[in-house]
Amino acid sequence: MKARQLRSRPSRQRGVAAIEFALVFLFGILPLLLISLTGVMIFAAQQSLSLASAEGARAALQYGTPAQRQVNACNAAQRSMAWLLKFANESANCTTPTAPGSTYAPIAVSAAATCPTNASAQCITVVASFDYNNHPFIPGTKALYGWVLGTNLSSTATVQLDLSGS
């Protein structure tokens, strides 16, 4: 009878390690992986926004009228951040670009105006933005990253124009 009782005790413990692993994975490791993945995606989005604003500013250097330069800048920025625009299901209106600071737009291009550092030159500013609060990469992470990110991810680039050739 003792032999039978000894054999039955270990069989009751079978599978407990698998259940413990599943619980630790579900409540411990998986949330850390999701938080890390979201952080990497936010970093990639910020890099795309930096590239978009820089490419937009670079495109504004092409010869043309100031209005053509604004459209060129908006189109270049739109190409550089296409994956973010597609993810957010947004589009940039490059036929009449939005001025920075007026309303939320994924891409805002200023009109040629006096540069803040050089009153004799004209500058164009390109702002690329992504509204993470309304379009989080993983649902539920808005509360986690909201206090760090603020309202929008954005990047700004300003270029000084040579208007003598236009």
DSSP string, 42-100: HHHHHHHHHHHHHHHHHHTTSSS-HHHHHHHHHHHHHHHTHHHHHHHT-----SSPBPT
Measured torsion, CA atoms of residues 96, 102, 103, 108, in degrees rounded to the nearest 10: 50
Measured from the Cβ of residue 61, the count of other Cβ atoms closer than 10 Å reads: 15
Confidence bin at 144 (pLDDT 50/70/90): low
Residue 64 is part of which domain span?
A: 2-165
Beta bridge partners of 128: 107, 155
Give the burial string for 77-91 (b: 16+ CB within 10 Å, else e): bbebbeebbeebebe
Confidence bin at 2 (pLDDT 50/70/90): low
Instruction: Please state, in angstroms and rounded to a whole number, the distance separating the CA atoms of residues 144 and 134.
Output: 14
pLDDT digits over 44-62, tens only? Answer: 999 999 999 999 999 998 8
Question: How many domains does one find in the chain?
Answer: 1
Average pLDDT over residues 14-22: 79
